[in-house]
Amino acid sequence: MIGINIISVIILLGILIFVHELGHFLVAKWSGVGVLKFSLGFGPRLIGKKFGETEYVLSALPLGGYVKMLGESGDDEEILSPDDEKRSFHKQTALKKILIVAAGPLFNFLFAIVAFAVVYAVGVPVSTSRIGDVQKGSAAYEAGMQSGDVVIAINDDQISRWSDLANAIGGGNGDKLSIAVDRNGAIITMYVTPERVKSKNIFGEEIETYRIGVGISDETVMERQGPVRALSSGIEQTWGWTKLTCLGIVKIVQGVVSPKELGGPILIAQMAGSQVRKGFLPFIFLIAVLSVNLGLLNLLPVPVLDGGHLCFFIIEAVTGREVNMKWREIAQQVGFFLLILLMIFVFYNDILRILNN
């Protein structure tokens, strides 16, 4: 099991890092900037090959990657020819720098759209509107609903999926509903008034919603979508996970969600291994979700991340002057320190989860 987890997380991180760095690489090339190295991972070089001016490297630590361009920090001491000087990163306009830096997170979002689209095109299991358990004394029980009934319409709106049923009931105002069910071929219409109940959302906040007292069944159907609809679903899923992730960050800042819920590489490895054992599509779905998370993480205004660099270049675009190198170096050091603290914290959370399980 541990072996599967390790292999799975290496593949997962490798894909996410490759997609992210590919964005920087392609836009840098498109902008005419010289790229010296494209590395998957950090630390000692394992294997590599040079094509043209670019060395493509696989490094030992698979927790990141980088694209090294002409004229970036660390190359200032090198003597560049006049032609190379024009192709160096620091000689580009602020707009080009912004495009190159923003391309990494953008490619993560684009990859998520494609990955989600592939999942929906191949097919996903969807729960039908067949009723599982009916709680005694509930509104559905009193109306005569039985386990095994298939809901086909609510207030004359056609129903075939459990999600449609749940939205129609939970999203209403508690008004009486006309529910048509198929019971062994016979169509029966009954009237049910949803009950207001207290529940908790995914962030643990107490909310009020409406229920009729029925549970989901195990019946599912494989739903496949055409290319256009699958792409649309990919966009919807990417946008939905983006909003959910942003909301989660806000909830952590507000103190609604405990920072202890944050996970690191160990949790990701466990999740990756679990999804691989479930099949190819669940694994791809997980990669898509984490690609959204990686894109958003890199847009945070922390100096060592893409978001921090974007802040510097936006200031440069507005003022017409580069941010003072001394201030940039100080900000980089502070950002690096904060990132190390975050890594230690999520590793600590991962270890606590293991010990408590």
* Interstrand relation of 54-69 and 214-216 (parallel, antiparallel or unpaired): unpaired
Could you tell me where the DSSP H helices lie in 184-226? none
Q: How far is CA 317 from CA 72, 76, 98, 332, in A?
A: 18, 22, 9, 20
Nearest to 237 by CA among 288, 275, 279: 288
Q: Which residue has the tokens 């498109």?
A: 30
Residue of 21, 55, 77, 329 marked active site: 21
DSSP state string for 97-159: HHHHHHHHHHHHHHHHHHHHHHHHHH-EEEEBSBEEEE-TTSHHHHHT--TT-EEEEETTEE-
Active site annotation includes 322: no
- What residues does 56 pair with on adjacent strands? 38, 49
Q: For the chain, what is the radius of gyration of the CA atoms?
A: 26
Helix (H, G, I), strand (E, B) or coil at 193: coil
Residues 70/34, Cβ–Cβ less than 8 Å: yes
Nearest to 287 by CA among 4, 1, 2, 10: 10
Residue 321 phi/psi, 5-degree rounding, is -130, 145
Q: Provide CB contacts within 8 A for 258, sequence distance 6+.
A: 252
Q: How far is CA 123 from CA 162, 298, 307, in A?
A: 17, 31, 35
Could you list the active site residues?
Answer: 21
